Amino acid sequence: MTATDSTTTDPAAAGASPRRGFGVDVGGSGVKGGIVDLDTGALIGERFKIDTPQPATPEAVATTVAAVVREFAWTDKVGVTYPGVVTNGIVRTAANVDEGWIGVNAAEVISAELGGQHVTVLNDADAAGLAEERFGAGADNTGLIVLLTFGTGIGSAVIHNGVLLPNTEFGHLEVGGKEAEHRAASSVKERKDWSYARWTEEVTKVLVTIENAIWPDLFIAGGGISRKADKWIPMLENRTPVVAAALQNTAGIVGAAMAAAVDVTVTPQ
């Protein structure tokens, strides 16, 4: 059931005494965690993954998150992603996950499993956006960045000059009479057996709807399908530049660790 994978970083490359954080990315198939160098966005050591329990109830997932954290004997703050709206630690939506999550204070439930360790829970795309903006595809850009993750659904993160506007949920925008994620998630491409060209037509419609509403400077395309970015990003016909996510499968872990650390790392101006 458990397995490590090969997403590793040489601890020596992370500097003598890096500021460290811990992030856990809760996905449909795996719960993945690791120690993060908060100054470089690199993982320190290996990522550890446990299969997502089925059904993925809050209790079962909390137990799994705790097992991942314990694997590293990590006792400080922990950041955890969740694939839906989260306000003040409380889950508000469950579009593609177990409905038992709605109304649950996920931060409290997971913290209780960890004997009271401080836990920050945030939306999965928001976590990826934080990491990509700071350390990945957005690192050289200022202004308004919108990250979209294409997977089972569509997740979104909006970041303006480093500040996240949480829970934007652009995957549920209505685009031409249909929810954006029902039109252009990568799961739709698979289900309908569409070519990249056909699917990209739908992605263009979603991007145009978003750019007409908030005029981003840059879109970052994330999710598994961004690994094949050269097959479809060049076919997009919207006006805002689109680049592929750079951090791939570590973005959620890194962003979760960043979010958990925020209250100790942000100096009030």
The answer to whether the beta carbons of residues 41 and 65 sit under 8 Å apart is: no
Which of 9, 64, 117, 149 is the binder for ligand BGC (CB under 6 A)?
Answer: 149
Based on the shown chain and the rule CB under 6 A, indicate whether residue 9 belongs to the binding site for ligand BGC: no
Q: How far is CA 176 from CA 92, 173, 180, 193, 214, in A?
A: 26, 10, 9, 21, 18
Based on the shown chain and the rule CB under 6 A, indicate whether residue 216 belongs to the binding site for ligand BGC: no
- Which residues lie closer than 8 Å to 170 by C-beta, 6 or more apart? 146, 148, 154, 156, 180, 206, 210
Q: By CB under 6 A, which span of 10-18, 82-90, 196-204, 233-241 interacts with ligand BGC?
A: 82-90
CB neighbours of residue 207 within 10 Å: 26
Which of 169, 189, 200, 256 is the binder for ligand BGC (CB under 6 A)?
Answer: 169
Q: By CB under 6 A, which span of 10-18, 98-106, 149-157, 259-267 interacts with ligand BGC?
A: 149-157
* DSSP β-bridge partners for residue 179: 174
Is the Cβ of residue 85 or residue 104 nearer to ligand BGC in the bound state?
Answer: 85
Number of residues that bind ligand BGC (CB under 6 A): 16
The answer to whether the beta carbons of residues 166 and 126 sit under 8 Å apart is: yes
The token pair at 107 is: 């931060």
Is the Cβ of residue 74 or residue 171 nearer to ligand BGC in the bound state?
Answer: 171
x/- string (CB under 6 A) for ligand BGC, residues 83-112? Answer: xxx-------x-xx----------------
Least distance to ligand BGC, CB of residue 22, Å: 21
- Which residues lie closer than 8 Å to 53 by C-beta, 6 or more apart? 60, 61, 63, 64
Q: Which of residues 119-138 bind ligand BGC (CB under 6 A)?
A: 123-125
The token pair at 59 is: 């209790």
Q: Tell me, what DSSP letter sits at residue 57?
A: -
Binding site for ligand BGC (CB under 6 A): 83-85, 93, 95-96, 123-125, 149, 151, 153, 155, 169, 171, 181
